Chain A
């Protein structure tokens, strides 16, 4: 790669800027102590907005000997990730203040996770893929256990860490096999050697392990078992963070590895993705039926939704990639709204987590009940809510690539999953309330209302520019 260092830095400007801002805020926070948390949070949010702006206007190209790639897909994903992360900072900052656990490391860790996600979507090499994933995951493990005095949160953090380490092991084993058989860690060189047929089946062997590791990170079945436990145990605003942006980043990385490094082995990886997608939709839909804890329910819902996104990926076309990008962005906004509602609702100082707590919410908090209803309809996939458009794209991509069975699975999964959302709606609107709820905090309510407004009606004008942007981004994956 002949690119000089200045150009390389310009290409990686969002991440370089974020890293500098993180170090500055870290030192500032260390001197100011707990009093400085709000200032660090504001600074971190501003840094993320600036990075989103840098990412949006940045040039295309590859830097650092191919380890870092910038194109329309990375731009799309980075802007989405850097704009949704400040929401998590807002929710978490106020919440930690209320539970008297203010520590300035919280926004710092979100920033570091965001850098990791930026690296993931820009990865052009197995090494940057791994380092990006580790940077993001390590920050998330710590965030999951951030309330160290809470036994459940510590358990969630430990579980997440141990299973995450296992998946990293699988991923590294796969990466080492791919390196051994293809002779390089660069995606483009791997793609070349597969095309020339010098790699044999060994590289596919490595690919399977790599895909297992990545499936773990996006919580696709059969590597989903950590999701409900971690969602249940970790603090709600933090779950709001890691149910949204990291999933998008991991999905984009998944798509990039498969399309750029293994584009010519599409017939092989497609089978695996199809099975994973099918299992995810089935386990997500049926597993959710038995849940009474709403956070666990959302965990299963996220498994099912990752399944839908994987169906888009399995199409192996530019249309499929577009479906993945649109789906993940719309889902990300839905799920943030859902968890903001959960963060807003509490009774006698205890957060409402079981389904029966939501009884009669429509009379106690009609606004939030309406928001939850709208978001439920959206995740169910009812028109004209945003979830419908998301699923429509996946459905179209699956049909266009001739995968009728998977398209049918989308419909069946949605129907089964509709049961638990309808049960929630019924509980809220028709059951008697057990008692008053506390006054919801302003910021969580605000985020919830904003998400609901987006899922209808703002989604309609938003789709007008989201759709062409996702299409340009999808083309850069290099699939037809």
Chain B
């Protein structure tokens, strides 16, 4: 067994195991940490495929931003997870049935893939020029062939932003905000009061 195969099986096994632990861990913080581990090992698998750019994207975006945000949300929200888990055993049988059917179907599909070779029959290579670096190859199609999808995805993000503002922004009265104009206009006269105090008496409000 060569080194690459060993690395693949190691990374794949860790990915699957941590994926399982994400949904079985009792502590939600542990779940998120296993999610991060799953992302990391998946990034490793991408590197092995020669897709360095995607690997870095996975680490930067999913680990760096999304998973850490999850962690904050899980730690800050006061959600009673033990209560959420109460329904687990009740729904376990039907869940097992649905999951079992899905698993059998997936296996059937996977064997079809193995037998027929699926897309390898007619798919174009993802990276036509091997000399081209990953990021450049993606950039060349992203802003030409896929410019429509790229811009439309931008609109989807705009909706998400507007939605977050519409649903959460509240203008509370009486909130003290920093006003730089006022701060700059402040003079020693307006900011200071000089009081003469008789010795031994102190200052009362």
Partner-B contacts on A (CB < 8 A): 8, 12, 19, 26, 63-65, 67-68, 103, 105, 108-109, 112, 115-116, 119, 127-128, 131-132, 134-135, 138-139, 141-142, 145-146, 148, 157, 177, 179-184, 193, 198, 200-202, 205
Given contacts A64-B148, A67-B148, contact A202 B112 (CB under 8 A): yes
Distance in angstroms from A113 CB to nearest chain B CB is 8
30 contacts between A and B (CB under 8 A): A8-B148, A12-B148, A19-B155, A105-B166, A109-B162, A109-B166, A112-B159, A127-B146, A135-B156, A135-B159, A138-B156, A138-B163, A139-B163, A141-B163, A142-B159, A142-B162, A142-B163, A142-B166, A142-B167, A148-B168, A179-B119, A181-B113, A181-B118, A182-B119, A183-B121, A183-B122, A201-B112, A202-B112, A202-B113, A205-B109
Docked complex Cα distance between A184 and B112 (Å): 18
Residues of B within 8 A of A109 (CB): 159, 162-163, 166
- Does B121 contact A198, Cβ atoms closer than 8 Å? yes
Q: Of all chain A residues, which has the CB nearest B122?
A: A183
Given contacts A142-B163, A200-B116, contact A115 B155 (CB under 8 A): yes
- Does B119 contact A105, Cβ atoms closer than 8 Å? no
Residues of B within 8 A of A67 (CB): 146, 148-149
Partner-A contacts on B (CB < 8 A): 105, 109, 112-113, 116, 118-119, 121-123, 145-149, 151-153, 155-156, 158-160, 162-163, 165-168
- Does B118 contact A180, Cβ atoms closer than 8 Å? yes
Docked complex Cα distance between A67 and B105 (Å): 31
Interface of chain B, main secondary structure = helix
Distance in angstroms from B175 CB to nearest chain A CB is 17
- Does A131 contact B119, Cβ atoms closer than 8 Å? no
Residues of B within 8 A of A142 (CB): 159, 162-163, 166-167
- Does B156 contact A134, Cβ atoms closer than 8 Å? yes
Distance in angstroms from A284 CB to nearest chain B CB is 26
List 8 tightest A-B contacts by C-beta distance, closest first: A64-B148, A142-B163, A183-B123, A183-B119, A183-B122, A131-B152, A138-B159, A65-B145
Given contacts A109-B162, A177-B109, A200-B116, contact A135 B152 (CB under 8 A): yes
Q: Given A116, A146, A184, A205, which contacts B123 in the complex, CB threshold below 8 Å?
A: A184
Residues of B within 8 A of A8 (CB): 148
Docked complex Cα distance between A12 and B147 (Å): 13
Residues of A within 8 A of B105 (CB): 205
Docked complex Cα distance between A293 and B184 (Å): 60
Docked complex Cα distance between A280 and B24 (Å): 37
Distance in angstroms from A46 CB to nearest chain B CB is 20
- Does A127 contact B165, Cβ atoms closer than 8 Å? no
